[in-house]
Amino acid sequence: MYCRFYAELNDFLPPDERQRVLARRLDAPGSVKDVIEGFGVPHPEVELVLVNGRPVEFGCLVAEGDRVAVYPRFRRLPAPGPPLRVPWTGEPRFLLDVHLGRLASYLRLAGFDAAYANDATDAALAAASREEGRALLTRDRGLLKRREVERGYWVRETQPRRQLAEVLRRFDLAGRLQPLARCGRCNGRLAPVGKAAVEADLPPRTRREQHEFHRCDRCGRVYWRGSHVARIERLLARAIGGG
């Protein structure tokens, strides 16, 4: 069979296999999912597969001699076939693996629902991403290859600020930033709260100088404008600017 991966799917291939048709012998027919993951490309990264020019599902069998074209998400052009999964609608929701705690916190500060637990097993992450309809963000390609994972993305960058920029770009989130919507520490929602309710817990200078406060409905952490929000806004400005 012959296989060609397009655009950023080449990130998963060794340098000498990128951007070209790859020939492989198939001793027995294999599913589309198994064939493309055999090349190292996890199925959640894939949005469209054509076998001999026709769109197919992941369970379809590929046989010797077939020509397979594998595409990531289409950004500018309409996809030349129906997508492999129902388009994501509503509020974007993420689940991050145990190594991406800082990115989880940044996504929350940008206002996005980003679940994270530093003791979750791979099996629990894969199951939760499906059950809760969350896109699984990970640096672990093996985790993304699990059958239960429907939506997911392999984070290419290793530095958290650059990871934030990468994820905002990949999921088209730049226009949906909402600083002061979520708690960076626990993913709870923030709500405005009167000064009188939080005054006793504030550092003296904040008590003097700040007048607008938000409190997390889950852990109770208090956020205020001033240096707190300025820091978040700088982080987001840099991320949108390309990290």
Q: Hey, which residues does 216 pair with through a beta bridge?
A: 190
Q: Are 234 and 243 in contact (CB under 8 A)?
A: no
- Residue 23: phi and psi, rounded to 5, are -100, 135
Q: Which is nearer to Zn ion, 218 or 228 (CB)?
A: 218
Q: How far is the CB of 213 from Zn ion (least distance, A)?
A: 14
228 binds Zn ion (CB under 5 A): no
Q: How far is the CB of 212 from Zn ion (least distance, A)?
A: 18
Print burial letters for 57-77: b (CB count within 10 Å at least 16), e (below 16): ebebebeeebebbbbbbeeee
- Residue 43: phi and psi, rounded to 5, are -60, -30
Q: Count the neighbouring beta carbons within 10 Å of the beta carbon of residue 111.
A: 20
Candidate list 30, 83, 133, 188; residue touching Zn ion; CB under 5 A: 188
Q: Which is nearer to Zn ion, 73 or 228 (CB)?
A: 228
Q: Which two tokens stand for residue 240?
A: 């949108």
Find the part of the chain contacting Zn ion (CB under 5 A) among 20-28, 44-52, 58-66, 187-195.
Answer: 187-195
Q: How far is the CB of 114 from Zn ion (least distance, A)?
A: 12
Candidate list 7, 79, 124, 219; residue touching Zn ion; CB under 5 A: 219
237 binds Zn ion (CB under 5 A): no
Chain contacts with Zn ion (rule: CB under 5 A): 183, 185-186, 188, 216, 218-219, 221
